């Protein structure tokens, strides 16, 4: 029985070492495309807040997903900025 629980927990755990497909797609974009994507995500975030304020049905998990995507995009944009400047950590 304990072996089954361990196996189920191992299957449910996220796989390590697998690159994030979204991050890979974002890393291949140039600065202008990243800014456009950021603008799109900000508009989506605003629309979610507006829907919540007007009482429309909104999936609560969408707020966190959009927020994390914005953070991911800003991180990748900053990495690209540092790389283009030639400054290393």
Task: Write the pLDDT tens digit of every residue in 2-22.
Answer: 666 555 555 554 445 455 677
CA distance 14 to 61: 18
pLDDT per position as a tens digit, 39-57: 999 999 999 999 999 999 8
Q: How many CA atoms lie within 13 A of 7 on its CB side?
A: 4
What's the average model confidence in pLDDT over 71-80? 93
pTM (2 d.p.): 0.69
**3 state SS of 84:** helix
Query: CB under 8 Å to 27, separation ≥6 — which residues?
Result: 76, 79, 80
Q: So what's the architecture of 19-85 in CATH?
A: Orthogonal Bundle (1.10)
Dihedral of CA atoms 10, 12, 13, 17 in degrees, nearest 10, equals 90
Sketch the domain layout of the chain as residue ranges.
19-85
| Interval 55-78 mean pLDDT | 93
């Amino acid at each position: 029985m304990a072996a089954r629980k361990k196996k189920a927990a191992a299957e449910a755990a996220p796989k390590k070492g697998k690159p994030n497909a979204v991050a890979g797609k974002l890393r291949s974009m140039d600065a202008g495309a990243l800014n456009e994507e950021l603008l799109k995500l900000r508009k989506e975030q605003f629309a979610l807040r507006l829907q919540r304020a007007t009482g429309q049905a909104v999936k609560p998990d969408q707020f966190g997903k959009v927020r994390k995507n914005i953070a991911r995009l800003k991180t990748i944009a900053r990495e690209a900025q540092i790389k283009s400047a030639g400054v290393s950590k």
